[in-house]
Amino acid sequence: MNERDTLKINKKGHLEIGGMDAADIANQFGTPVYVFDESYIRKMMRTYRHAIEKHYGGNGLVLYASKAFSCTAIYAIAHQEGIGVDVVSGGELFTAIKAGFDTQKIYMHGNNKLVSELELALDNKIGTVVVDSFREADILNELACERKIVQNVLIRINPGIEAHTHSFVQTARTDSKFGFSVSDGAAKEIAAYILTKKNLNLQGFHCHIGSQIFEKQSFVLAAQKVMDFCADVKQSLGFEAKTLNIGGGFGVWYNDEDPKLKPDDYEDYLECLIDAIKEKAEKHSLKLPYLVIEPGRSIVGEAGITLYTVGAIKEITGIKKYVAVDGGMFDNPRYALYQSKYTAILANRANEPCTEKISIAGKCCESGDLIAVDVPLPKAESGDIMAVLTTGAYNYSMASNYNRNFIPPAILVKDGKAEYIIKPQTYDDLIRNDVVPEYLK
Ligand code: LLP
C-alpha cells in the first residue's frame, strides 16, 4: 500500500482519498469515475515552484504539462498557483484560454502544429511557441508578420540523451520525430535560420528527454549538454540563450517496482539539475538562463485514482482469473499500449490481505482490454469497489469512446468534499455529432 498522505485506510477499513471515503464517492457519483485530490496537485505545483525559488532565486517558471490531464479546472488550479502551462494542441490551448489562463504563461509544443493552431496561439497572445520544424518557423514568422507582432520562440533540440525509467543512453544522434539534433548540426542550423526571421524572437532552447524517469543523472546530463550547446551557439552565432526549458519527465510510483518519491525528492532532482546549469554557466561564461521545467505526470499522476465496480469474475482453471470492471481501455489504455503496471485495491475492503493474483479486465470487446495483469488482490466479489491507483496522468487525457462507452467523469476532492470537474457523458453526447445522410433515411 502506498503511504502518500492523499490515500489512507479509514476506521471502516475503506480506502480514503483526500479525506473522502472512496466507497462513498462511488455511491454518490457512480463508477467508473476518476477522482483527483486537489491538495496533492497543489502540493506538487508548489514543490516545483519553491524549488526554483530556493535554488535558483526564482529565475524561472514551472509549467504544468497539461497533456497529462487537461480540463478547464486543472488550468484554473495552475493559474491560482502562479505557474504556467504547456499545451500541445489547439484543444488544450482552447481549454486553457477558456479557463482564463494568463496566455503569456503558455508554451506551445508540437512537432506538426497546424496553421489553425498557430493562429489560435497568436490571436490569443500566447507567451512562447516551441518551434519544431523549418516549416513551422516559416509559417509562424508569416503569421506574426501579418499580425504585426514579434513572437517569442524556443527551439526544441535533441541533446542525444534517451532516458528510460531507471536508465538512460547517450546517443550520437536521436531518431526522434521531435526536435533538432545537436550532433548533426541541425539544431544550430535552425537557430541561425530563426535569427534571420524578423517576426520571431529567439529566446533559447528546449529539450525533453523522456517520461517516467527516476535516474537523476539523465536530467543532469541533459542540462549539461544543452548548456554546452548554448556555449557553442554563442561562439558561432553570437546568440546567447536567455531561456532554457528542460522539459518534464520526473517519475511517479505505480507499483512496488517504483520508488515512492516525496516532494523533497522532486526538489532534489531540480537542485541537481540547477547545480549542473550553474557549473556550466560558469565554465562557459554564460549568463544564468531563465529556467523552465514542464512536469506533467508527477503533478497529477499520484493525485488521481479510478474507481470501478467489480462485475463478472471468471476463472480459467489453473491458468488465469479475470476480475472484470465497468471500465477498461477506454478510460485507461496504458496497459494495452505500454503494458504499464498498476496497483489495485478493493476500496471497500482495503484492510483485507491479498490472497490471490488476478487480472483486471475491462468491458470492451477486445481481449487485450486489460487494466492490469496478475496483480495481488483480496478475493473480489461482484459489487466490490475497485480502486486503481496513480491514474491521474495520461488516463483521462488518453481516454476514448471506444465501443461507444462513456469516458468517465472526473471529480475533485478537497477537505472532505467532492465536486465534478468533468461531468458524466450521456448517450446523447455519443451521437451528438452523428449525421445520417438523406439517402440513408
Ligand atoms: N514536455 C514535453 C515536451 C513532453 O513531451 C512531455 C511528455 C512533458 C513535458 C511531460 O512529461 P511528464 O512530466 O508527464 O513525464 N502517454 C505516455 C506519456 C507521454 C509523455 C509525452 N511527453 C504515458 O502514458 O506514459
Task: Give the lowest-confidence range in 30-34, 163-167, 265-269, 372-376.
Answer: 163-167
**Domain of residue 364, CATH code:** 2.40.37.10
For ligand 1, the distance from its centroid to the CA atom of residue 210, given in whole angstroms, is: 7
Query: What is the predicted pLDDT for the residue at 176?
Result: 84
Query: What is the predicted pLDDT for the residue at 339?
Result: 95
For 435, residues 6+ apart whose C-beta sits below 8 A from its C-beta are: none
Query: What is the predicted pLDDT for the residue at 313?
Result: 98
* 108 and 60 together in one domain: yes
Band (334; pLDDT cuts 50, 70, 90): very high
Nearest to 225, CA basis, from 177, 162, 151: 162
Please state the rounded mean pLDDT for residues 326-335.
98
* 320 and 363 together in one domain: yes
Pair 69, 392: CB distance under 8 Å: yes
CA 274 vs CA 51, 163, 244, 311: distances in Å: 10, 18, 11, 50
Average pLDDT of the chain?
96
Query: What is the predicted pLDDT for the residue at 168?
Result: 72
For ligand 1, the distance from its centroid to the CA atom of residue 69, given in whole angstroms, is: 11
For ligand 1, the distance from its centroid to the CA atom of residue 318, given in whole angstroms, is: 39
Please state the rounded mean pLDDT for residues 400-417.
96
* 147 and 265 together in one domain: yes
* Domain assignment present for 170: yes
* Domain assignment present for 66: yes
Query: What is the predicted pLDDT for the residue at 3?
Result: 47
Query: What is the predicted pLDDT for the residue at 325?
Result: 98
Pair 358, 380: CB distance under 8 Å: yes
Please state the rounded mean pLDDT for residues 6-10.
94
* 251 and 145 together in one domain: yes
Band (4; pLDDT cuts 50, 70, 90): low
Strands 200-206 and 243-245: parallel
Number of domains in the chain: 2
Residue to mutate, 44, 87, 254, 297, ligand 1, most ligand atoms under 8 Å from C-beta: 297
Per the rule left: phi > 0, alpha: psi between -120 and 50, beta: everything else, 290 is beta
Chosen domain end from 266, 283, 299:
299
Query: What is the side-by-side strand order in the sheet with 20-21?
Result: 7-9, 15-17, 20-21
Owning domain of residue 315: 7-30+303-431
Cis? peptide before 32, omega within 30° of 0: yes
Query: What is the predicted pLDDT for the residue at 166?
Result: 74
* Domain assignment present for 347: yes
Q: Locate the ligand 1 atom nearest the alpha carbon of residue 301 and give its number.
A: 14
Nearest to 129, CA basis, from 38, 187, 60, 203: 203
For 109, residues 6+ apart whose C-beta sits below 8 A from its C-beta are: 86, 87, 88, 130, 132, 156
Dihedral over alpha carbons 215, 70, 122, 63 (to 10 degrees):
-30
Question: pTM value?
Answer: 0.97
* 287 and 383 together in one domain: no
* 210 and 258 together in one domain: yes
| pLDDT beyond 80 at 327 | yes
In whole angstroms, what is the distance from residue 103 CA to residue 119 CA? 14
| pLDDT beyond 60 at 197 | yes
Kindly state if the Cβ of 156 falls inside 6 Å of ligand 1. Answer: no
**Domain of residue 43, CATH code:** 3.20.20.10
In whole angstroms, what is the distance from residue 328 CA to residue 326 CA? 7
Residue whose CA is at the smallest distance from ligand 1 atom 8: 248
Chosen domain end from 299, 321, 339:
299
| pLDDT beyond 60 at 342 | yes
* 205 and 321 together in one domain: no
* 174 and 240 together in one domain: yes
* 312 and 289 together in one domain: no
Kindly state if the Cβ of 297 falls inside 6 Å of ligand 1. Answer: yes
C-alpha cell at 437: 445522410
* Domain assignment present for 416: yes
| pLDDT beyond 80 at 173 | no
Query: What is the predicted pLDDT for the residue at 162?
Result: 79
* 106 and 158 together in one domain: yes
Entry field: residues in the chain:
441
Chosen domain end from 271, 299, 327:
299
For ligand 1, the distance from its centroid to the CA atom of residue 357, given in whole angstroms, is: 31
For ligand 1, the distance from its centroid to the CA atom of residue 246, given in whole angstroms, is: 12
Looking at this protein, which amino acid is placed at residue 284? H
Kindly state if the Cβ of 37 falls inside 6 Å of ligand 1. Answer: no
In whole angstroms, what is the distance from residue 112 CA to residue 135 CA? 9
Q: 236-285, pLDDT tens digit by residue?
A: 999 999 999 999 999 999 999 999 999 999 999 999 999 999 999 999 99
Q: Locate the ligand 1 atom nearest the alpha carbon of residue 213 and give its number.
A: 15
In whole angstroms, what is the distance from residue 239 CA to residue 125 CA? 25
In whole angstroms, what is the distance from residue 360 CA to residue 306 CA? 13
* 292 and 311 together in one domain: no
In whole angstroms, what is the distance from residue 343 CA to residue 356 CA? 14
C-alpha cell at 77: 488550479
Give the burial class of 169: count Cβ atoms within 10 A of its Cβ; 0-12 exposed, 13-18 middle, 19 or more buried: exposed
Strands 304-316 and 161-164: unpaired
In whole angstroms, what is the distance from residue 288 CA to residue 228 CA? 13
Please state the rounded mean pLDDT for residues 329-358.
97
Q: 42-70, pLDDT tens digit by residue?
A: 999 999 999 999 999 999 999 999 999 99
Integer-rounded Cα Rg, in Å, for the chain is 23
* Domain assignment present for 229: yes
In whole angstroms, what is the distance from residue 110 CA to residue 94 CA? 15
* Domain assignment present for 437: no
Query: What is the predicted pLDDT for the residue at 164?
Result: 78
C-alpha cell at 4: 502518500
Dihedral over alpha carbons 276, 277, 280, 284 (to 10 degrees):
180
Kindly state if the Cβ of 394 falls inside 6 Å of ligand 1. Answer: yes
Q: Helix (H) and strand (E) counts for the chain?
A: 12, 23
In whole angstroms, what is the distance from residue 356 CA to residue 381 CA? 13
Query: What is the predicted pLDDT for the residue at 110?
Result: 97
Band (2; pLDDT cuts 50, 70, 90): very low
| pLDDT beyond 80 at 416 | yes
* 285 and 147 together in one domain: yes
* Domain assignment present for 217: yes
* 145, 272, 364, 365: the active-site residue: 365
* Domain assignment present for 438: no
Please state the rounded mean pLDDT for residues 371-392.
98
Kindly state if the Cβ of 214 falls inside 6 Å of ligand 1. Answer: no
Residue 354 a catalytic site member: no
Query: What is the predicted pLDDT for the residue at 169?
Result: 72
Residue whose CA is at the smallest distance from ligand 1 atom 22: 211
